[in-house]
Amino acid sequence: MTKKKLASQSAVIMTEMVLPNDTNTLNNLMGGKLMHWMDVVAAIAAQKHSNRIVVTASADSISFKHPIALGNVVTLKSQVTRAFNSSMEVFIEVWAEDIPANKKILTHRAFFTFVAVDQNGRPIEVPEVEPKTEEEVELYEGALRRRQLRLVLAKRMDPKDAVELKSIFNMDNPKES
Ligand SMILES: CC(C)(COP(=O)(O)OP(=O)(O)OC[C@H]1O[C@@H](n2cnc3c(N)ncnc32)[C@H](O)[C@@H]1OP(=O)(O)O)[C@@H](O)C(=O)NCCC(=O)NCCS
């Protein structure tokens, strides 16, 4: 297996238009439809990194601050930030564009985790990620803390073992500032 792959090799850009069938009664994009697009764009990035079948293991909290209107063009960008054993963290950014008004805003940033599996659905090892740009390095370094947080919340990791996570809260030295 290839030992390492560049983070940028997994990059995906997907463009959609908000059509009447995608909207709620206020003519804004349904949250579930957006999450579907996010799942698809992130799954493609995870597949590109691993060259495997992938399944969604988790989606970190997504909040809906900016409504996306009927007729807007939605651009979703995804890229694997870091791979562990069989799992990969994928970073997703969503942009909504009103082309006639010449307005484009970043509406969402989210992290999804995918697991590469074999034909029987069993987790299988994936290549490591090699970050190059400053942003890729920052995302790579933060990925370990985010992994520990989601595994603790999923009751898959004992909080005592979440060393990187504890260090940001300074939990081992509570009296120090
Ligand atoms: C995800 C799945 C393959 C994990 O299988 P498992 O038997 O629990 O396997 P393991 O305990 O060996 O975990 C495998 C990897 O998944 C990761 N993982 C499992 N649950 C996770 C979660 N909630 N969040 C983040 N990562 C998770 C583990 O950390 C591990 O990562 P690593 O190999 O990089 O260390 C399995 O739970 C599954 O198939 N889930 C259904 C996936 C699916 O259908 N998704 C679509 C939703 S409808």
User: Mind listing the pLDDT tens digit for each residue in 35-86?
Assistant: 999 999 999 999 999 999 999 999 998 888 899 999 999 999 999 999 999 9
The pLDDT of residue 2 = 62
Cα of 115 to ligand 1 centre, how many Å?
Answer: 6
The pLDDT of residue 54 = 98
87 in contact with ligand 1, CB cutoff 6 A: yes
75 in contact with ligand 1, CB cutoff 6 A: no
Cα of 110 to ligand 1 centre, how many Å?
Answer: 18
d(CA 35, CA 59): 9
Q: 33-53: b or e for each residue (b if 16 or more CB lie within 10 Å)?
A: bbbebbbebbbbbbbbbbebb
90 in contact with ligand 1, CB cutoff 6 A: no
Q: How far is CA 153 from CA 58, 98, 99, 111, 128, in A?
A: 11, 37, 40, 15, 25
Please give the model's pTM, rounded to 2 decimal places: 0.94
The pLDDT of residue 177 = 43
- Name the percent of the chain lying above pLDDT 90: 86
